[in-house]
Structure formats: C-alpha cells, structure tokens
Amino acid sequence: SVLLKISSLIDFATEKLHAYPYKDVPLCWRRLYTDASIVKSLCEIFIALRTEKEKESWKNIVKTLDMALIMTGAPGNGRKEMIFHLIKEVENIIKNIEENNRESNNITGSLTKQNTNLPTIKFPIPKLSSPSLATFTSHVNTLSPKPIILTSCLSHWPALSTNPWADFDYLLSVTGKERIVPVEIGAKYTDNSWTQKLINFEEFVEKWIKNPTNDGDIAYLAQHDLFAQIPRLKEDIIIPDYCFVDTKPYFISYNHVQYTPPSDVIINAWFGPQGTISPMHTDPYHNLLAQIVGNKYIRLYAPSETSKVYPFEQDGFLGNTSQVEIETPDLERFPLFASANYLDCVLEPGDMLYIPPGWWHYVRSLTISFSVSFWF
C-alpha cells in the first residue's frame, strides 16, 4: 500500500539521519524524512476522516508530525508551517472526540512548590537590578568577565504574569497534551543508566512532574528547542536585549578555544521535577539562564580552576564535563577539588544568571523547575 511505501521511506531516511552527527546530516535526508512524514500524515488523515478512527489514530498522526520537527527541523519552503497547521487541525479533532466522549483532563493545579531545605550559599554571586545595556556590555567585554545575577528584568514576560507557566492547565493548553517531546531519563547524563526517550507532553507532566515515581528515575526535558517545535510557547517569553550586545573575541584558556558568537541566539528549554542535575560542565557561548518556575542551586568555577575540577578527556564526548560529584566529591580521587574556588546561588523566578563562556557550572533543581537559556 501507499502507507507502507511511505513508512519504508521514513525508515530509510531515519537510517541516514543516524549515520551522521546531527549538524552534519546532508539536507537531502532531512528533506526526505520531512516530506515523507507530511505525506504519511495526509494519507492517515484522509483514512481517519473516512473511517471515523478513534482518538489513538489521531494521536499517532501528531506523533508523526512532531517527529519530523524533532528529527529534522522540517527544512524546505513552507514545510514547518504546513506541519504546524496540520497539528493544530488534528488537535482540534482530538479535542472534539474528548468532548463527545466526555473525557476530562485530570492534570490541574500549580507547578509552584516550596522547598524549605535550601542549601547554604557560601560565596554569593553579585546581583544587578535591571542594568543598562551599556553597563552589561562593559561587563561581558572585560578581560575575564564574571557571573552576575540580573534581577527585575523578566517581570514583563507573560510566562511570569498573564500566562503563567506555573499553571498546569495553561501550560498544557498551549503545548498540547499529545505533543511529543524528547526527555532525558536518569539522574544525570554522566551516569551509565542515563538514556533518552520520546513521550507525549501530558504523560511527561503527569508521570514525571506532578506525580513523580519513587523508583529513583528522573525525567528531564533538557536543552531542547521547545520554542521551535511549539512556537505559541515562545510568545510568552522575550529574548533579552542583553543577548544582542556587541561582544569582543574571548579566548577560553583551558581548552584553547576562541569564543565565536552563534549566527543567532540559541534558545533552549529546561523543564523537570525536583532533583534534576546538570553535571558541572562548560559552554562555548555567553549564556543567560532565565528562571521562570521554581528554584535552582547553581555553583560556578572560573576557567582558571580547570585543573582542580578534573575534566574528562578533551577529545571525548564528555570533554566539557567534570568528573567530580560536586556536592559529594571523592577527595581521594580528586584531591585538588577541595581547594577550588567557586561562586554559588539559588536562582529564583524572575532571576537571570549570566554565565561567561568557559565557566564551569553545576545545576540542581530544588523544586519543580522551568528555565530558559539564551546562548549569544
């Protein structure tokens, strides 16, 4: 049948996508996967409309389209817009089916939870209240810029006011319950048991955020361009003007890398329950981490402390990551770590942390947390 042939094309394109690092995948294979996914979805919509398929069939159509966005970014003239339109129409059909079947959404309430067991801050990061662009530009262009917390900069964001992301109902209404998202399963990406999984957003919120299991597993929607996949969510945030300041060349001494700004601001979402951990690592860009929901404990070490934080081998996958368990270090294996100097903070909703290129940073969520990072 036509559907079988199209599915075979998607399988073939998938093999090609996995044969290269993501940034090196030839455009032709991304286009093939995208176009085949769109055609498959159109065929399935045609069949579903003629045969009155159940909700599960419509959910699978959303999954096919989301996979095209996640796997390829949907290159090609009008492809992404077509996918967004199809998803919206299919979601409306699913909603009508649920209303006719009198199905209810059991996920209600707030993401906001207090944690009274906050860590002691020993070496606090300086704070600046809504600094001018000139002040911020001067700071990032110093010879060795240091982290600072910017306050009173996000109060105008809808995500923190009129469209609060701390509200389960609002978040699900915008993202769509059936949307597929990639999540990391495991305490941290340096663990052998760490893996990745694609699940629908409602399941992620219900199972991993609202009612986390006691089996030790943690799921984290981490470093994902959620806003390219679900543009409506991007309307609730505003790229800070600080991301567009002129930055001078910056030499990251520990790995001999020259900072080069990205062609555009790189935006990623970080959404997870209490206890998610990003092991201490470095990033190649200036970074503004905006906290929208919940609190995070963050510790930072300057590039000059690199020898004391024991990075993995530079030529490996974890070359930008420390081997040390930051809050429970093995000082017999890593004795120099005891003398490493650091800064730390608890990032709260409305705060934005500036992290210079090459600074080592460790992040642990103290509550349910939603953050957005801006690399520039």
Answer with the one of 42, 65, 100 that is the final residue of a domain. 100
pLDDT recorded at residue 105: 59
Distance separating alpha carbons of residues 75 and 72, to the nearest angstrom: 7
The CATH number of whichever domain residue 304 belongs to comes to: 2.60.120.650
Q: Which residues of 139-178 are buried (b: 16+ CB within 10 A; e: fewer)?
A: bbeeeebebbbbbebbeebebbeebbbbbbebbbebbbbb
User: Is 93 in the same domain as 223?
Assistant: no
User: Is 55 in the same domain as 194?
Assistant: no
pLDDT confidence tier of residue 104, bands split at 50, 70 and 90: low
Summarize pLDDT for 332-358 with one digit per residue, the tens. 999 999 999 999 999 999 999 999 999
Quote the distance between the C-alpha of residue 84 and its chain's center.
Answer: 20
Which of 174, 140, 124 has its CA nearest to residue 346? 124
Percent of the chain residues past pLDDT 90, beyond the cut: 81
Query: In degrees rounded to 5, what are phi and psi of residue 118?
Result: -85, 145
| 3-state SS, residue 290 | strand
pLDDT confidence tier of residue 10, bands split at 50, 70 and 90: very high
User: Is 352 in the same domain as 222?
Assistant: yes
| 3-state SS, residue 151 | strand
> Which residue shows structure tokens 């000082």?
331
The answer to whether 273 touches 221, Cβ cutoff 8 Å, is: no
Averaged over 124-138, what is the pLDDT? 98
User: Is 233 in the same domain as 84?
Assistant: no
Answer with the one of 100, 117, 135 that is the final residue of a domain. 100
Answer with the one of 64, 83, 100 that is the final residue of a domain. 100
User: Is 148 in the same domain as 295?
Assistant: yes
Question: Which parts of the chain fold into alpha helices (H)?
Answer: 2-17, 27-51, 55-72, 79-100, 133-140, 168-175, 201-203, 226-229, 231-234, 306-309
The answer to whether 111 touches 166, Cβ cutoff 8 Å, is: yes
Summarize pLDDT for 183-239 with one digit per residue, the tens. 999 878 888 788 999 999 999 999 999 887 656 689 999 999 999 999 999 999 999
Whether residue 122 is contained in a domain is answered as no
- What is the rounded (10 degree) CA torsion for 326, 270, 79, 17? 20
User: Is 51 in the same domain as 165?
Assistant: no
Q: Which domain holds residue 24?
A: 2-100
Whether residue 316 is contained in a domain is answered as yes
Where would I find the beta strands (DSSP E) of 127-247?
A: 127-129, 148-151, 180-185, 195-200, 219-224
User: Is 65 in the same domain as 136?
Assistant: no
pLDDT recorded at residue 240: 98
Whether residue 106 is contained in a domain is answered as no
Summarize pLDDT for 254-298 with one digit per residue, the tens. 666 778 899 999 999 999 999 999 999 999 999 999 999 999 999
3-state SS of 46-95? HHHHHHCCCHHHHHHHHHHHHHHHHHHCCCCCCHHHHHHHHHHHHHHHHH
Whether residue 205 is contained in a domain is answered as yes
DSSP letter for 245, please.
S
User: Is 76 in the same domain as 200?
Assistant: no
- The structural domain count of the chain equals 2
pLDDT recorded at residue 1: 83
pLDDT recorded at residue 253: 62
User: Is 94 in the same domain as 132?
Assistant: no
